[in-house]
Amino acid sequence: MLLKSLHAQHSALSKTERQLEILSNGIFKDGYLPTFADKIKSVGQFPLRPKKIEILQLNVGYMCNQVCAHCHVDAGPDRKEIMTVETMQHCLDVIKNTGVHTLDLTGGAPEMNPNFRWFVEEASKLGVQDFIVRSNLTIILANKKYHDLPAFFAKHNIHVISSLPYYKREKTDKQRGDGVFDKSIKALQMLNEVGYGMPNSNLKLDLVYNPSGAFLPTDQKALEHDFKIALKEDFNIDFHNLFAITNLPISRFLDYLINSDNYEDYMYSLVEAFNPKAVDNVMCTNTISVSYDGWLYDCDFNQMLGLKVAVSDNHISKFNEEILSNRNILISQHCYGCTAGAGSSCQGTVA
């Protein structure tokens, strides 16, 4: 298990330039594999353009109580980047004044932002249709001050989306750290107790599965079926939907791919599984990602690669729905992760 972020280790891969260099060179430069731009050109989908902006995804900070092996954010306890109240206020203004109907809080562990609860309370007043918090589950048990999170979420009708890489201990702990599985199970039971994830409950609890290794996820429905049976039988846990998310080759997962000599084969699998239908609905076409310091990105992955949206007003304080809707989306080879097979997004498959 990792103890420190790549950032704290001063790893070369903590630098976005180095990651982009790796993704652009080698097998993509020598023509062994087509670049993502060439691939979408071949199916008439270049440049990639947005549709209506529906989702605002806020990364409220990179601090996390876990250091997961696959984390594309390179989050961990040693990360100090936290969204300020001022930036949050700008986000509230955008929600008030635009057609955004879904708010998606992510991190790190969003709950560790000291202004998290204030922001949830304020944003709830604005009548967001779908208010998502991406919770890593173990945060609920990490400290007494977080034990009431399930009740707090329920009070504000938060849609909880939680990562649980597998329904068995070994694979979960290997990816997310020792003891994470048991704590995640306990946290899911606490969420169930307040009504989350129960059949017919309005308190939505969805799980996220991502492969614990250099392979692509299989059919989302089949996985959901397996998760539902196993979690119910073994732990009496209920949840609504399972989202199967492909690991994108950036940050820690890229580091893992290179160190385990899986990078080329993994990229080959992604390119081989390219699905033009998935391109139509990739999440960057209806989402804007906001970083802790207010910069705007096409998605959370581009945020981690430092690729700000390609417009001059690229900060939340200057959010312009019309200009943003007319931009070209920035792409690189990591984008193959969202177009492989049935596609992948923060809301699961897209094709």
Partner 1 sequence: MEKTYYDPADLKKFGKITDWNKELGDTFFEYYGKVFEEGSLTAREKSLIALAVSHTIQCPYCIDAYTGDGLKRGITKEEMMEAVHVAAAIRSGATLVHGVQMMNKYDKLSM
The residues of the shown chain that bind partner 1, judged by CB under 8 A, are 166, 168, 211, 213, 215-218, 222-223, 226, 268, 272
Beta carbon nearer to partner 1, 87 or 246:
246
Minimum CB distance to partner 1, residue 209 (Å): 9
Beta carbon nearer to partner 1, 226 or 280:
226
Minimum CB distance to partner 1, residue 232 (Å): 16
Beta carbon nearer to partner 1, 166 or 301:
166
Beta bridge partners of 107: none
Minimum CB distance to partner 1, residue 230 (Å): 9
Minimum CB distance to partner 1, residue 326 (Å): 39
Minimum CB distance to partner 1, residue 335 (Å): 21
Beta carbon nearer to partner 1, 166 or 196:
166
Beta carbon nearer to partner 1, 34 or 213:
213
Beta carbon nearer to partner 1, 176 or 204:
176
Beta carbon nearer to partner 1, 243 or 297:
243
Minimum CB distance to partner 1, residue 133 (Å): 27
Rounded Cα gap, residues 318 and 313, in angstroms: 6
Minimum CB distance to partner 1, residue 139 (Å): 26
